[in-house]
Amino acid sequence: MGQDAKIIEELDFFLTHPACSVMNLEHFYNTCLHFYDSVPLLSIVGHMKRMSPSLLAEWSLTNPMVANLLKDLDPGRNNGKVHNITITIDLSKQAAAKKGIYQVEWITDIADSTINHHFKKKTLLVTDINDGIVSLLGLSLIDENKYNLYIKTRRK
């Protein structure tokens, strides 16, 4: 396994940690800079665009190099503002209900009106830690700040 692939593998592990934050991500990146001869920032940003775009957007607000790289990669982006909400889930321990649809409980402190707005605009993105981006078919409010998400994967 090459150095770049090893860094991406470590990044994957890092992104699945529940306490993953911009501060921790910056520490991870700085540690890589210290221990490796070179760090593939372009690969890291590309990988994060697929796996955790909301964390990447937050990171770009604190790290000018990441912000500039994102601007170069996506000139239509509006000054690093987040235009979607990304939810990371783990379907590995769940069985699909009828027709391969998963029901996942999600707790958030985001306002209900914001969640509904993003769902209608299709900017509420769901990422499984193993399968990447999955389809969000619907959601229902269970209680204040608690939702059921209805997910369809590309698995056969």
Residues 6+ apart with CB under 8 A from 147: 105, 106, 107, 108, 115, 139, 140, 141
Beta strands per DSSP E along 40-100: 85-89
The pLDDT assigned to 80 comes to 47
What rounded mean pLDDT belongs to the chain? Answer: 84
Considering only CA atoms, which of 77, 33, 78, 81 is closest in space to residue 54?
81
The tens digit of pLDDT for each residue in 114-146 reads: 888 888 888 888 888 888 888 999 999 998 889
% of the chain surpassing 90 pLDDT: 17
Contact call for residues 111 and 85 (beta carbons, < 8 A) = no
78 pLDDT band, cuts 50/70/90, is: very low
Strand partners, 148: 105, 140
Q: Lowest mean pLDDT: which of 22-36, 69-83, 127-141?
A: 69-83
The pLDDT assigned to 18 comes to 80
CA 65 to chain centre: 20
Check residue 20 and report its DSSP letter: -
% of the chain surpassing 70 pLDDT: 92
Looking at the predicted structure, is the pLDDT value of residue 89 above 80? yes
Q: Where are the domains of the chain?
A: 3-73, 85-152
Cα torsion 33, 17, 11, 53: sign:
negative
Query: How far, CA to CA in Å, does 52 sit from each of 42, 86, 95, 101?
Result: 15, 7, 24, 22
